[in-house]
Amino acid sequence: MNDIRSQDAPGRPARAAALDLLAAALSRRAGLDEGLAHPALKALSPRDRAFARALVMATLRRLGPIDSALQAKLQKPPPERVVNLLRLGAAQLFVLQTPAHAAVDATVDLAASDNATRPFKNLVNAVLRGLTREPPELGDPDLLAPSWLHARWRAAYGEAEARAIAAQIAEEPATDLTLKDPAAAAELAAGLEAEVLPGGSLRTALKGEVSAWPGFAEGLWWVQDASAAIPARLFGIEAGQSALDLCAAPGGKTLQLAAMGARTTAVDKSPGRVKRVSENLARTGLSAEVVVADAAQWADRRRFDAVLLDAPCSATGTFRRHPDVLWAAKPGDIASLAALQSRLLDAAGRRVKAGGRLVYCVCSLEPEEGQPQVDAFLARTPEFELEPIAPGEAGAPEASLTEQGTLRILPHHRAGGTDGFFIARLRRKADMPQGAP
């Protein structure tokens, strides 16, 4: 994003695309991803496309403080599209640091270009010029997350931890990479201007098209947050063992298991997302069986040495790269997702061989999706026991280890930030009878 800071705003098509992209991001889960894949955005020049994405991400990362500043200037709320125009204008002014005349004029021009927003162009002009005279403070952690989520984090982790979590929302993250061959870490780190993290992930500050970075075309690595790389490492896979990755797309953990030498099967119910798994396997030259099926109802009767369940969840732990999840989430989502996670855990458990391991994880900060799920599963499934994770094992931050021996990774537990995760490792007792899968 640094290459567009302090420059005059690109043309109207880029700003119009940003307006549509912001509306999509705030309207529904996965709206940002859908918007980024829209043909209208892809039709823009690379510079305009980069600007539209950077502007929306800057807006989302500071949406709470921006809205607080706008509310102080508005006597009554205008239509949502006008609010989004103001949000984008404020982000240009105070995050991207676009010169004031360019940011204000460009936003007013965009308002004037649409019949629905044209009557509000003077309001847009007045509010943004008012903000330039009284610049808002956009870094208050208490405002960076939706109030209901911040309250949940306070209740779960305490005031100081909640503020530390929220402070990460405003930070643009570096990119983490998982290597096909961990032995190549030092060589690849030099070419990618990266540091080697505990566990073997690389963290690079490179920007721009990932496909142009050294080693991408050769399939030597894939993008995967350092936290997301931990679950697969916890199996201690030996070459030739069988591994099952449930809810596998987009496939980072499948690639890890295959690279470790496991005979890997990846299951996901979305044909479009399964296609991404296959594409990633092809690029890296790795092999895995890829199946389109609902993990809870998959009819296959095989059992595996290692079963990984990265369950569907609220995804609040991924806000560093997906800040829209915070604003598209609803309180009711957590309870409904917890019920789904319970069903999937039962299905995953039936797939584990005697003596085999089950790793359950969610990229969520919400307590209901973590330890209580594991406790309930163990209570109703006596053939499993918790296998505690050791301090620092698999590159996990030591601060993330819980008293129970599970991991509750918070975004500030790693210098420079990391995705929030809950991870637990379970083992099926070798001396317990097994029913049908």
378 sits in the region (left: phi over 0; alpha: psi -120 to 50; else beta) called: alpha
Could you write out the DSSP letters of every residue in 22-83? HHHHHHSTTHHHHHHT-HHHHTS-HHHHHHHHHHHHHHHHTHHHHHHHHHTT-SS---HHHH
Catalytic residue (one of 247, 313, 361, 363): 363
Q: How far is CA 242 from the centre of its chain?
A: 28
Residue 316 is classified by DSSP as G
Active site (annotated) includes residue 363:
yes
252-259 helix and 271-284 helix, angle to the nearest 10 degrees = 40
Extended strands (E) in 182-329: 194-196, 202-204, 221-223, 242-246, 263-268, 289-292, 304-310
Q: How far apart are CA 286 and CA 243, in angstroms?
A: 14
Q: Are 425 and 361 in contact (CB under 8 A)?
A: no
Query: Helix, strand or coil for residue 384?
Result: strand
Q: How far is CA 155 from the centre of its chain?
A: 23
Q: How far apart are CA 269 and CA 302, in angstroms?
A: 18
Query: Which residues are designated catalytic?
Result: 363
